[in-house]
Amino acid sequence: MEKGRFGIYGGQYIPETLMRAVTELEQAYERWRSDPGFVSELQNLLAQYAGRPSLLYFAEKMSRDLGGAKIYLKREDLNHTGSHKINNVLGQTLLAKKMGKTRIIAETGAGQHGVAAATAAALLDMECEVFMGAEDMERQALNVYRMELLGAKVNRVTSGTSTLKDAVNATMREWAGRMTDTHYCLGSVMGPHPFPVMVRDFQAVIGEEIKVQCMRFEGRLPDAVIACVGGGSNSIGSFYTFIGEEEVELIGCEAAGKGVDTAENAASIANGAVGVFHGMKSYFCQDEYGQIAPVYSISAGLDYPGVGPEHAALFDRGRARYVPITDEEAVDAFAYLARSEGIISAIESAHAVAYAMRYAPTLPKDRILVVTLSGRGDKDVAAIARYKGVSVSE
Amino acid sequence: MNKISAAFSAGKAFVPFITGGDPDLETTEKLLYALDQAGAAIIEIGIPFSDPIAEGPVIEAADMRALQAGCTVDKLFDLVARVRPDIQAPLLFMTYYNPIFAYGIARFIERAAACGLDGLIVPDLPFEEREELYQPCKARGLTLISLIAPTSDTRIRQIAMESEGFLYCVSSLGVTGERSAIDDSAKYMIEKVREISDIPCAVGFGISTAEQAQAISAFADGVIIGSAIVRIAAELGRDCVDAISAYAKTIKQAIALP
């Protein structure tokens, strides 16, 4: 593989000013990733602080009710801070500290990565600033306050569509102006090299645990691993260890919003075209002139017009398949999981649950599906109520 | 000699930037003539982009206005083809990479060459990634301008050696936009370039006043001014042409001083 490339995807398409920052990061990551002290420090944090390994839970009622394959849920929602994002931020913040940085900056969509970054910064004594689209701040007001409680400063981003892509723009601009003491703690497997590789490595623990746990419970690998895809970090983390195991089907669930045939969706693989944006070559929702499209999803965490370059490559070579899931399907799955298993998952993760609900009944009972629940859904309760026309006051 | 390098042979070069299609294409056309008349050595036309990550708020807002007004790459190609015979200064497109990529690299370059464009500046295409655009540009006689920044350090040498036309020296960290003070980074960068190359060096990012332009031109071959001009367009809209022309003349005069 050419440096930082997944097939034709990936690369380092960034302004010259930022080249030093990414080169420095690349070198630091190469140096520390295999350093025994760094590795054990990170493992210790993941175990003692984040609560890893996360459960692989057999959703027996749901499996029985759907009447097909056995469904296991990988419970990333039970991690400290309530999502898989903690895996990545602990890795990156620890690395930033080794690099002598004293401040981290981060973009956030739903607020989960922002909360995780603010948490890691509090724990590891770093200053933290989070950039968040104004619209997302409305949708996720509680997470904004949560970040502030953790000592982070939250900056409101009002440019463009005031959502996740604009938050990434703002964070990149901030980094270009201040990199000596600052690390950009990117939240997904996107952006310029080395982010897609580094974030994937920090998230790969999800799939590695699935493998061990599934072997323990079932004595074999799962038949399919299903996860939601925005930028694609929980999904690549779930998939990575299985890429070489050709018999394990890998399925990513994209946000189809109001439908892939409408203008309001965020399905960059189903609807996008190859392009270059945010430092990487990958699939992006865009118009014929390469203007990045204003995307939409009920889920602020999947409301991003692109997808990580490794997913683009997995899609091209047919190793993973990607299915669009609408808001409506996700909201139904959210409610279904709550009632059938007593688990309120993030609306992002509900996209993966929705596909499992569709797929499991078509398979024999001896098949095994693993669905990654990337996060918990407390943050989404108010929005789901609004979607259903229920008025809730906090 | 490359037509763009040649633009630096008649004294210090003033290189203005305007966002194409802001507030509309007719105004952009008038501005191109006005800037040419005012003594611009080279003119940069920005292709508006939805997510201009190297720009500060002034140019970003101009991009949004231009897109709202319906500006497209095709319309800017048509505009360049129309004005080209009557404008002396070389014309460059300043564009993010995705609009080129989405258009199709070969098709974009073909069209650019056919309408008489002289070169491209692509701020999110660093040296390491430029090959797939550089070769087609070279084949059609378009110059792909290289950039260096205060953080380029050891990269300066390599970039300068392979640069053509002129070298775009980014004066300071961060994004485009007017700054009250500009430090010595640019001067230091140009000294490094001079050790290995005589490529003309133009400094951009942050310059707005005649005093700044004059100070920069003491050690640089040219000054690039964007946000300060775009701000006038933002304030005056379609009536901005005379004010921008007057501003351009002030800058041109300031850098002509010994």
Residue A3: pLDDT over 90:
no
What pLDDT score does A300 carry?
85
Nearest CA-CA distance, residue B149 and chain A, Å: 5
Amino acid at A279: G
Interface touch B153/A20, C-beta < 8 Å: yes
CA dist A42 and A87 (Å) reads 9
DSSP β-ladder status, B91-94 and B43-46: parallel
Contacts of A22 (CB under 8 A, 6+ apart): A12, A14, A192, A193, A194, A279
Q: Are A302 and A326 in contact (CB under 8 A)?
A: no
| Phi, psi for A115 (deg, rounded to 5) | -65, -45
A70 pLDDT band, cuts 50/70/90, is very high
Catalytic residue at A107? yes
Q: What is the mean pLDDT of residues A43-57?
A: 98
The CA distances from residue A200 to A91, A117, A171, B206, in Å, are 11, 16, 20, 37
Is the model's pLDDT at A2 over the cut of 70?
no
**CATH topology for A5-46+85-199?**
Rossmann fold (3.40.50)
Residues B233-252: pLDDT tens digits? 999 999 999 999 999 999 99
Rounded distance between C-alpha atoms, residue B141 and residue B117, angstroms: 10
Tokens of B156: 């300066």
Q: What are phi and psi of A252, to 5 degrees?
A: -100, 140
pLDDT in tens, A335-355: 999 999 999 999 999 999 999
The residue type found at A391 is S
Could you tell me the two tokens for A107? 């973009």
* Subunit contact A177:B173, Cβ cutoff 8 A: yes
The span from the CA of B222 to the CA of B226, in Å, is 13
Residue B201 has pLDDT above 60, yes or no: yes
Q: pLDDT tens digits, residue range A198-243?
A: 999 999 999 999 999 999 999 999 999 999 999 999 999 999 999 9
Q: What is the mean pLDDT of chain B?
A: 96
Q: In the predicted model, is pLDDT for residue B1 greater than 80?
A: no
**What is the CA angle A372-A377-A382, rounded to 5?**
150
What pLDDT band is residue A392 in, cutting at 50, 70 and 90? confident
Is the separation of the CB atoms in A283 and A273 below 8 Å? yes
> For the residues B27-32, what does the mean pLDDT come to?
98
Q: So what's the architecture of A52-82+204-387 in CATH? A: 3-Layer(aba) Sandwich (3.40)
Q: Which CATH number is associated with domain B14-256?
A: 3.20.20.70
Q: Which of B60, B127, B173 sits opposite A17 (nearest CB)?
A: B173
Q: Are B178 and B228 in contact (CB under 8 A)?
A: yes
Domain ranges in chain A are 5-46+85-199, 52-82+204-387
3-state secondary structure chain B: CCHHHHCCCCCCEEEEEEECCCCCHHHHHHHHHHHHHCCCCCEEEECCCCCCCCCCHHHHHHHHHHHHCCCCHHHHHHHHHHHHHHCCCCEEEECCHHHHHHHCHHHHHHHHHHCCCCEEECCCCCHHHCHHHHHHHHHCCCEEEEEECCCCCCHHHHHHHCCCCCEEEECCCCCCCCCCCCCCHHHHHHHHHHCCCCCCEEEECCCCCHHHHHHHHCCCCEEEECHHHHHHHHHHHHHHHHHHHHHHHHHHHHHHCC
Global pTM? 0.97
* Interface mutation target, options A276, A280, A282, A288, chain B, most CBs of B under 10 Å: A276
pLDDT for residue B88: 96
Q: Which residue in the list A85, A101, A211, A379 is annotated as catalytic?
A: A85
pLDDT digits 0-9 by tens, A246-258 = 999 999 999 999 9
pLDDT in tens, B114-153: 999 999 999 999 999 999 999 999 999 999 999 999 999 9
Catalytic residue (choose from A107, A129, A310, A341): A107
Provide ipTM, 2 decimals: 0.96
The residue annotated as part of the active site, out of A233, A235, A268, A374, is A374
Chain B residues in contact with A21 by the CB 8 A cut-off are 151
CA distance A186 to A117: 9
Instruction: Tally the residues of chain B.
Output: 258
pLDDT value of residue A109: 86
> Does residue A324 have a cis peptide bond before it, meaning omega lies within 30 degrees of 0?
no
Using DSSP, state whether A153 is helix, strand or coil: strand
| Per-residue pLDDT, A393 | 67
Could you give the CA distance from residue A337 to residue B197 in angstroms, rounded to a whole number? Answer: 66
- Domains of chain B, residue spans: 14-256
What pLDDT shows up at residue A17? Answer: 96
pLDDT at residue B180 in the model: 83
- On average, the pLDDT of chain A sits at 96
